[in-house]
Amino acid sequence: MHSISSIFNSYKDTLDRTYKEQQELWKRAKENIKSFYSSFLKDLVLNYGKKIANSHQSSSIKRDIEEIFGTDTIKFVAIDGSSFKEEFSEFLVFYGGAYAVRGTLKLRGNPVKVEYEKWDIKHDKSIIAYVPIPYVELNLDSEQSMFFATDKEKTENLSIHNQLMQLAEIYLAYTFVRSPDTDVNLILMDNSLSSIYLSNDVLHKLWENGSLKIVGYRFGKGEITPADIYISYAMPINDKLDIPSCKNFHGEFYIIRKLFDKSEFNNECSFIRENKHINKLKELGIISDSSSTKKILINPKFATTTKDSWDFVKSVFEHICEEIFVKRNLNALKIERKGKSEWLTSNDIKYLISVGLRMLIEKCWERNVILIGIAKDSATKYFSRNYLGVMHYKKIYDFSPMNISVSDRLILETIPFIDQEISAPWSTIEFDSVFMSLHLERNDRDEIFVGGFRGDIITPQERLFLRSLAQFYINRSKSEPMTGNVIFVDRIAHPTFDANNNLLAKEGVEIDTVRGDRVNPLFYKNRKDHNKVQQAIIFILDALTKNLFPYVIGYPDPLHKADWGARSMNKKVQKLIKSGEFKFVANPLKKSLRSKKEEGYGRL
């Protein structure tokens, strides 16, 4: 047997060796980053700090902002959420909530002026939901399940509280854009929009029997059908951005778009296939049996247009969210199925989040609101590996590939140390979020090709979101620059300013995938391409980033304030919910031995 000291010494040696190896790898990576930046990457970095510091250029940016929003007073909302799950002896409580901070940015004057609205309980827009679920009410899958796992064990790994929080964030943002009383121009969310889009896609669950319990949900004179689920995932529709686009992957979405405001159309999309797209929509009952790849007609027994279905789904979303977050109806997450009352599952909440995000994007386009998601920490390589890899393969970019095996964030956080001219704020060019799935692959014959997730899955929808990485704090008063973290900025595409001129196809290039698909993403090639919306967003975010809090240097203040509010709200609700266990104190035998031990240790 080994002594305790030898175990610790061995662990220390392992840590020291690993740290030394990591430092050597990072040293080599930094040398490669420096070379790659000087030879190519610098052309994809926009030094907005110098522009904003120049009074003439700053005034020009302000005029662009006024053109985009139609006003010189930008009203913004920042939203963040919180969640937790509390397990009691008799029941389980899920909590999810969202908190909003409101303010205005006045462009007149130098510097611009930021004002926050004072919190008023009468006009508080925070929303919460807490759902206590008795274990005895959780439905068993079958009579045999009693031999395999208890109801409590089945729910221990559920993340409904996190989904409730995300649903609260989306619904709160939607209420701001929907309401005619709130004149908002900009919405900031503490999450990546394209990541929300991806992580809540449960359309594949439609084909798994019973996985989506919301199918069959009755509201008014109708009920949710598989066809409604399918149509809702085809949203949002925007003709200026040409989405959903004509392509092989989910070609059904393109058909749904064309039938959105008419009952039939003559198809000109060459990717539509009879055995794949047409037959699937016939099976769902959306189009008539007489439809072909040439002429497609909606099924008159289903609806007049696909818009009818989408309008119904939107009304269901508004109803359920109002019951959950406004009326706090504890039965809002229940559904009557086959004569029994069942709880909606995490997949159903994900579906509602997907619907809510699409409704939010629609409303933002309708009311000229820019929706932005900010993510702080990520180890992704969508920019350096996926985007640059595909663009290099398509000969849009010419550079010598290098071995830089670190994340996008670490690559870009090195820039202020190797480029003394860069100043905050600065950003990469924006790239289409479809490159979250598009990437290079190599087959057994050493041939390189473009693929998607699991070969042919291309998502998010191209021309829907634009991503970039930016930094909002650099201090060069010392020998070594002090910097904030690089953050991820994710926004919806603008139907006017993004759609007109910035498509990869205008370079004479289209991205063909290994499965015979074709994608035409939004495209800003380098710093010479004027991106009016990105420039406006960076200017606004810089004005909102005061760098007053050392632990969130380089992060927009409104989102930090929203995080404060969400955390404070979480603490108060936790106290309320924990007090619910007092009801069961009189019967200590119902508490688990573990919980009683923890309580005992807590008193020591």
Indicate whether 424 pLDDT > 90.
Answer: yes
Same domain, 457 and 513: yes
Higher pLDDT, 602 or 323: 323
CA 496 → CA 72, 420, 427, 501, 530, distances in Å?
19, 36, 22, 10, 14
Percent of the chain with pLDDT over 90: 57
Whether residues 380 and 507 share a domain: the answer is: yes
Mean pLDDT of 38-52: 95
Residue 88 DSSP SS3: coil
First-to-last C-alpha distance (Å) of the chain: 33
Per DSSP, the residues of 336-400 read: EETTEEEE--HHHHHHHHHHHHHHHHHHHHHTT-EEEEEE------IIIIIIHHHHHHTTSS---
CA distance 485 to 391: 26
d(CA 256, CA 253): 5
Q: 603 vs 281, which has greater pLDDT?
A: 281
Q: What is the pLDDT of residue 341?
A: 77
384 and 500 together in one domain:
yes
Same domain, 348 and 303: yes
Q: Are residues 396 and 348 in the same domain?
A: no
DSSP 507-548: GT--EE-TTS-EE--BB--STTS--HHHHHHHHHHHHH----
The token pair that represents 55 in the structure block = 């009074």
- What pLDDT is stored for residue 240 in this prediction? 93
Question: Is the pLDDT reported for residue 553 higher than 70?
Answer: yes
Give the Å distances, CA to CA, from 480 to 166, 417, 418, 472, 475: 39, 8, 11, 17, 9
Percent of the chain with pLDDT over 70: 89
Domain end (from 546, 570, 593): 546
Q: Which long-range contacts (CB under 8 A, 24 or more apart) does 594-599 make?
A: 595/89
CA distances (Å), 565 to each of 97, 346, 485, 544, 593, in order?
Answer: 11, 26, 23, 17, 36
3-state secondary structure of 123: helix
In sequence order, what are the residues at sequence separation of 6 or more whose Cβ sits closer than 8 angstroms to the Cβ of residue 571? none
Residue 274 · residue 282 · CB < 8 Å: no
Is the pLDDT at 156 greater than 50? The verdict is no
| 71 pLDDT above the threshold of 90 | yes
> Which pLDDT does position 137 carry in this prediction?
60
How far is 73 from 109, CA to CA, in rounded Å?
11
Residue 486 lies in a domain: yes
Report the pLDDT value the prediction gives residue 242, as an integer from 0 to 100.
93
d(CA 216, CA 487): 42
Q: Does the pLDDT value for residue 91 go beyond 50? A: yes
Average pLDDT score over residue span 23-36: 87
d(CA 432, CA 460): 9
Range of the domain at 266: 196-367
pLDDT value at residue 372: 98
Higher-pLDDT residue of 87 and 338 is 87
Task: Examine the fold and report which residue of 367, 387, 421 is the final residue of a domain before the chain moves on.
Answer: 367
Residue 19 CB neighbours (<10 A): 10
Mean pLDDT on 295-318? 93
Are 259 and 175 in the same domain? no
Do residue 362 and residue 400 come from a single domain? no
The answer to whether residue 543 scores a pLDDT higher than 80 is yes
Q: Which of 25-29, 88-92, 371-375 has the highest average model confidence (pLDDT)?
A: 371-375
Using CA atoms, how far residue 518 sits from 25, 449, 505, in Å, is: 38, 13, 11
Is the pLDDT reported for residue 584 higher than 70? no
Residue 60 lies in a domain: no
pLDDT tens digit sequence for 352-367: 999 999 999 999 999 9
349 vs 227, 324, 327, 490, CA distance in Å? 18, 12, 18, 23
For 405, residues 6+ apart whose C-beta sits below 8 A from its C-beta are: 25, 29
CB 191 within 8 A of CB 373: yes
pLDDT greater at residue 534 or residue 122: 534
Dist. CA 544–CA 283, nearest whole Å: 51
If asked whether residues 245 and 232 sit together in one domain, one would say yes
pLDDT at site 449: 87
Residue 277's contacts (CB-CB under 8 Å, 6 or more residues apart) are: 251, 252, 255
SS3 category, 80: strand
Of 320, 348, 367, the residue at which a domain comes to its end is 367
Residue 104 lies in a domain: no
**Residues 287, 179 within the same domain:** no
The better pLDDT of the pair 94, 99 is held by: 99
In a domain, 7, yes or no: no
Convert the pLDDT of each residue in 443-465 to its tens digit: 888 888 898 887 678 888 999 99
Counted domains in the chain = 3
Tokens 């573990």 map to which residue?
594
> Where does 126-259 have alpha helices with state H?
151-155, 160-178, 193-199, 226-233, 251-258
Length of the chain: 604
Structure-token pair, residue 28: 């080599």
- 353, 391: one domain: no
Q: Mean of the pLDDT values across residues 69-82?
A: 95
Mean local confidence (pLDDT), 380-407: 91
140 to 135, 216, 330, 439, 455: CA distances (angstroms): 11, 19, 20, 42, 37
Residue 413 tokens read as 């956080």
- Classify residue 494: in a domain, yes or no: yes
Distances from the Cα of 343 to the Cαs of 124, 160, 219, 457, 527, in angstroms? 30, 11, 16, 31, 51
Can you tell me the mean pLDDT for 276-295?
92
Q: Which of 19-23, 364-368, 594-598 has the lowest mean pLDDT?
A: 594-598
479 lies in some domain: yes
Task: Give the list of residues 6+ apart from residue 107 with CB closer than 8 angstroms, or none.
Answer: 62, 65, 66, 72, 73, 74
Average pLDDT of the chain, as a whole number: 86
- Residue bearing the bigger pLDDT, 252 or 599: 252
CA triplet 158, 160, 161: central angle to 5 degrees? 115
Domain presence at residue 9? no
Answer whether 103's CB lies under 8 Å from 116's CB: yes
- pLDDT tens digits along 225-238: 999 999 999 999 99
- Please give the residue that has the higher pLDDT: either 515 or 144: 515
In a domain, 498, yes or no: yes
pLDDT digit string (tens) for 114-155? 999 886 655 566 777 777 776 666 544 433 333 334 454 354
Can you name the residues that pair with 495 across neighbouring β-strands?
none
Q: Could you tell me if 534 and 385 lie in one domain?
A: yes
Say how far apart CA 557 and CA 562 lie, in whole Å. 9
Is the Cβ–Cβ distance between 131 and 94 less than 8 Å? yes
299 and 393 share one domain: no
